[in-house]
A and B are shown apart, each in its own frame.
Chain A
Amino acid sequence: MRRRQQIGIVRRRGIGQSIQRVFLFALLGLFCLYYLAPLIVMVSNSLKSLEEIRMGTLISLPRDVTFEAWGKAWNAACVGVRCDGLEPYIWNSVFMVVPAVAISTFLGALNGYALTKWRFRGADIIFALILFGAFIPFQVILLPMARTLGLLGLAGTIPGLILVHTVYGLAFTTLFFRNFFIGVSDGIVQAAQVDGAGFFGIFFRIVLPMSLPAIVVTVIWQFTQIWNDFLFGIAFTVGDSNPVTVALNNVVNTSTGVKEYNVDMAAAIIAALPTLAVYVIAGAYFVRGLSAGAVKG
């Protein structure tokens, strides 16, 4: 006799069930492989020498592992006419993404708080209007935004890009925080009011520390959106102020010389690593935040 399963929902047993489960897991494994294939190909090719890629196929695993391509992608690949690799552009992206994420998340939290806990006449209409911003396609605001940035003297600069992303992101961050705060008991805010705290006192001391899960979700979302953005980056920055996505494009789409697949692949992974890191770090924190400190009511 097999030992009975100790946890979970009671399941039917028998040979038919076992076959079904084997089939199920085989199918899941297949899908796993299917989704992981591009990543595997990228990583394996970034670890090959150009010689090896030319001799073999893209699918084969590397025979001699070398990090040459990574090094070149980092600081020697040619982006347009400059050949310093992706490094300076990574920093451009960092200097853009950190303030843009911080400001848009903060303002979104403030908006959500005001819209739910200090309800005023027309709050729902204002929220609907803000939400409307989430449905405006990027392309639509390109020209008006270009003109605005020109008037502000921010055209072609990183601060200009920060402004664009902050404004565009507000719709989403407000939505996230509004929906989080709507579930927070009004009693907590009322108690704090009776306790003598004001609008900002309650926001910073009570509400913001409570909203860690919402902050993490918003940061993940905003970071991914802004870091991966290509359209605003290519439209509103020039040359040296390009974010890494635009630089990556320039590396890969270079029309001179031999196509260095290994460098392209390494560069693409480098450009994607920060978002991956945010997912891993913040994601774990997010799960912890959800389960700890939850309080009924």
Chain B
Amino acid sequence: MADVRLEEVRKSFGTTEVIKGIDLEIDAGEFVVLVGPSGCGKSTLLNLVAGLETLSSGDIFIGGRKMNDVPPRDRDIAMVFQSYALYPTKSVRENITFGMMTRRIPKDEQDVAVKEFSSLLHIQDYLDRKPGQLSGGQRQRVAMGRALVRKPEVFLFDEPLSNLDAKLRIEMRTEIKKLHQRLGKTAVYVTHDQIEAMTLASRIAVMDDGHIRQFADPATVYEEPVDLFVASFMGSPPMNMIPGRLRRDGGLFLENTGPDGASFRFPIPESIARRIEKPEGHEVVLGLRPETIFAAGTELPGKDRFVFERPVDVVEPTGPDTMIVFEIGGSDLIARVRPQDAGQSGKLFRFEVEMDKAKLFDAATGLRL
């Protein structure tokens, strides 16, 4: 079992700094997902861990050993690439055994390993085919097999599922999770898909612009995002963001004023209000997850509910839930309601908000209050 430790890691390409000083401690056996929008540096960071890129500064340790000048082959890692990167002229079997061949592992040991992992991944029937003759999902399995077969200490995944169709992606996601539970090896997984991040990770590192914004378990990242970026990146449909000013008027309110001058007030519940020391009129952003806005009276009553009426703009059924898009102060908001509660576009609709699930952010710094 090996842990992975990054200390003050930086990487520049020419004059552009891509990784801007990252510290990260990944415990042995953990499944860490690096998630972020494209261009945030997550794949570069993975390549640095793999040794496919040289560090500009900082240190990388795997299993306590400093890896800065250790080539990829000696890091005891295996990697699954987005493009699968199978060797097109080699058969599936040769693809899987190539790494063992270069390490001069005896043939009978190779055969045993191939047998074990090909049945685990259900690829035993096409060991003699070329990658070109396989479907996308089969290629993905072969790529996984190639990584698994050497039993490395650390697995690195670079968006391994993004080339698969939606159904297969969900299947493989589950399978990756099963494999991790079974093998218990450390894994670092890069994706831009926040659902993949939520489902797979034991801890998620949300990256943006070469920094790690938040590193925590999925529930914390979702429920207690540190800033606006994390809050808006995690969750689908994304969190509703309502800009406004703080008002103290017998309680704390967020007052949103639209371009037409009409203002709308959300009461801030006591649980949040007691943390807020910002003065009256301070610019803030209220974050409401779509699932915390629903049709009034359809959930058991709870504390800090706020009920209001707005006209429905668009109704978007997704099957299990229906999204209702409405507008406050010029910004579109999304509510997630049960299909049978869905209103009609153009008509008034009574919404109920669970205000104690609301998040409040400082508009200037983006940090959560």
Please encode chain B, from 188 to 222, with 1 for each CB lying within 8 Å of some chain A CB and 0 for all others. 00000000000000000000000000000000000
Looking at the assembled complex, report how far the CB atom of B13 sits from the nearest CB atom of chain A, in whole angstroms. Answer: 11
* B181 contact set on A, CB distance < 8 A: none
Query: Contacts of A201 on B, CB cut-off 8 Å?
Result: 102
B72 CB-CB contact with A under 8 Å:
yes
- Closest A-chain residue to B104, C-beta based? A196
Does B83 lie at the interface of the complex (its beta carbon under 8 Å from any beta carbon of A)?
A: yes
Interfacial residues, chain A to chain B (CB-CB below 8 A): 185, 187-188, 190-197, 201, 205-206, 209-210, 292-297
Instruction: Determine the distance from Cα of A188 to Cα of B84 in the docked complex, in whole angstroms.
Output: 8
Interface residues, chain B, CB within 8 Å of chain A?
A: 47, 50, 52, 71-73, 77-79, 81-90, 98-99, 102-103, 130-132, 146, 163
- Asked if A196 contacts B81 (CB within 8 A), the reply is no
Contact indicator B81/A187 (Cβ below 8 Å): yes
Expressed in whole angstroms, the Cα–Cα distance for A188 and B87 within the complex equals 6
- What is the chain A residue whose CB lies nearest that of B163? A297
In the assembled complex, how far is the CB of residue B106 from the closest CB belonging to chain A, in whole angstroms? 15
Known: A187-B85, A188-B85, A210-B89. A194 touches B72 (CB 8 A): yes
Whole-angstrom CA separation of A206 from B52 in the bound complex:
18
Closest Cβ of chain A to B127, distance in Å, is 17
In the A-B complex, list the 7 residue pairs whose CB atoms are closest, starting with the nearest.
A297-B83, A187-B85, A195-B99, A196-B73, A209-B89, A295-B88, A196-B102
- Contact present for A190 and B132 (CB under 8 Å): no
- Please give the distance in Å from A250's CB to the nearest CB on chain B: 46
Nearest CB of chain A from residue B80's CB, rounded to whole Å: 9
By the criterion CB–CB under 8 Å, are B88 and A191 in contact?
Answer: no
With A187-B85, A197-B102 known, 11 other A-B pairs at CB within 8 A are: A187-B84, A188-B88, A190-B85, A192-B87, A193-B71, A193-B73, A194-B77, A194-B99, A195-B99, A197-B73, A297-B83
A206:B87 contact, CB within 8 angstroms:
yes
- A201–B89 Cα gap in the complex (Å)? 15
Q: Which of A196, A206, A295 contacts B132 (CB 8 A)?
A: A295
Measured in the bound complex, the distance between the Cα atoms of B253 and A290 in whole Å is 67
Contact A194 B78 (CB under 8 A): yes
Give Cα A296 to B50, complex, Å: 23
> Quick check: B102 and A195 within 8 Å, CB to CB?
yes
CB proximity of B364 to chain A, nearest CB, Å = 41
CB distance from B30 to the nearest CB of A (A): 20
The verdict on A297 contacting B89 (CB below 8 Å), with A191-B146, A195-B99 known, is: no
Q: Which residue of A is nearest B98, CB measured?
A: A195
Q: Which single residue of chain B is at the shortest CB-CB distance from A211?
A: B89
- Is there contact, CB below 8 Å, between B79 and A191? yes
What A residues does B103 contact at CB under 8 A?
196
Alpha-carbon distance between A255 and B326 when the two chains are bound, in angstroms:
97
Residues of A within 8 A of B47 (CB): 190
Chosen A-B contacts, 8 in total, with CB atoms closer than 8 Å, are: A190-B72, A191-B81, A191-B87, A194-B52, A194-B78, A210-B89, A297-B83, A297-B163
CB distance from B151 to the nearest CB of A (A): 14
Q: How far is the CB of A291 from chain B (nearest CB, A)?
A: 10
Contact of A292 (CB < 8 Å), options: B72, B78, B83, B132: B132
Residues of B within 8 A of A210 (CB): 87-89
Q: Report which of A185, A195, A197 forms a contact with B146, defined as CB distance below 8 A.
A: A195
CA distance A30 to B87 in the complex (A): 48
Q: What are the residues of chain B within 8 A of A190 when measuring CB–CB?
A: 47, 50, 52, 72, 79, 81, 85
A209 to B98, CA, bound (A): 14
